[in-house]
Amino acid sequence: MEAVLAKYENQINVFSEFLEDLPDTDEPVWVLGECYNAKTGKTELLSDVHSRLWFTYRKKFSPIGGTGPSSDAGWGCMLRCGQMILAQALVCSQLGRAWRWRAQGGQPEKYHRILHCFLDRKDSCYSIHQMAQMGVGEGKSVGEWYGPNTVAQVLKKLALFDDWNSLAVYVSMDNTVVIEDISTQCRSGFGTTTTCPHSQSHSDWRPLLLVIPLRMGINHINPVYIQALKECFKMPQSCGVLGGKPNLAYYFIGFVGEELIYLDPHTTQSAVEAGSGVDDQSYHCLRSPRRMKITNLDPSVALGFFCKSEDDFDSWCNLVQQEIQMKRNLRMFELVENHPPHWPPFVPPTKPEVQTTGAEFIESTDKLFESEEEFEILNV
């Protein structure tokens, strides 16, 4: 059944390529905090989109868990979108937002190191294998479809084992972002044996991937949230949005007019063998980006933001207060200074005392995190 579904999706995608192109418009095109003119800046716009790491369904990888599926076609689209939003955070952290991929090669070593984190093998820290098996702790069987909130919880756990990037992944609860808790999490680990040796020596603030699961309506997106959603893509800290349609996940990277721009994981490619000379062409979407009307978006989403420094986070907080909280009668989410007194105490997630990642950690890490119920938001 999965193979039939994947083939059907691929046929749709091939047909869609003839329909999709950049609009001939004077309206600005926003991509992850960058603004482009579709008429005069098309080359720069496409270069930006092509530079994003693009993760799709893969087949013929080693079976997940040894005896599980060897392809994620038909069920792994939200996991692939989760990989894309995390990869964007790592690219911004290690290479900078202005970095651009070149098809002719010559990428920096840090780029290849980031890419290797996502290869479809059990020992890559953010592989489909690691994500699917870590999802078991979130109540998801291997091969089961994920929602935006669940994949965010999986990313938060896996990031604990990534000492190279030392990324803090904060997932908001109850539509509320708590500044005090983020500060605690981003400062945790400094001055102890768990400090990442690659951290910036001049800072005691870990780079932050902030994920905000939301429900912006009942069955359809409430139009009152549309402008605020657009403002999120304009912020320099924008890391994209996880969402899509029921059981059909996309990674949204921007908008033009009343349409969202997204990368689509619903293409099945063969798994790439790991090695020093990994062919990275299939990890970049070289066609024009796809678009869909904002009003067709499923209301269940997760907003992503990357803040490399404390100043960057402070700037994001100011933008949220100015562009989302002060101007909107109905807020997308709340930004509060202090931890709500009626909530359980905030404890920054910590890595178990183990040396390698793998399926053997799933059982032990489950005991370190709050229950799924604590994180669940309405119908996510």
Query: Hey, which residues are catalytic here?
Result: 77, 264, 266
Q: For residues 317 and 179, is the Cβ–Cβ distance under 8 A?
A: yes
Give Cα separations from 333 to 2, 31, 229, 316, 320 (angstroms): 36, 22, 11, 14, 10
What span, in angstroms and rounded, lies between the C-alpha atoms of 124 and 289? 28
Concatenating the DSSP letter of every residue in 226-277 gives: HHHHHHHHHSTTEEEEEEEETTEEEEEEEEETTEEEEE----EEEPPPPSTT
User: Which residue in the block uniquely carries the two structure tokens 């979407």?
Assistant: 285
At 81, list the tokens.
């979108």
**Would you tell me how many other CB atoms lie within 10 Å of the CB of residue 337?**
9
Longest dimension (CA), the chain: 55
3-state secondary structure of 148: helix
Instruction: State how far the Cα of 318 lies from the Cα of 305, in Å rounded to an integer.
Output: 14
221 CA to centre of own chain = 20
Contact 178, 338 (CB under 8 A): yes
Q: Decide if 233 contacts 30 (C-beta within 8 A).
A: yes
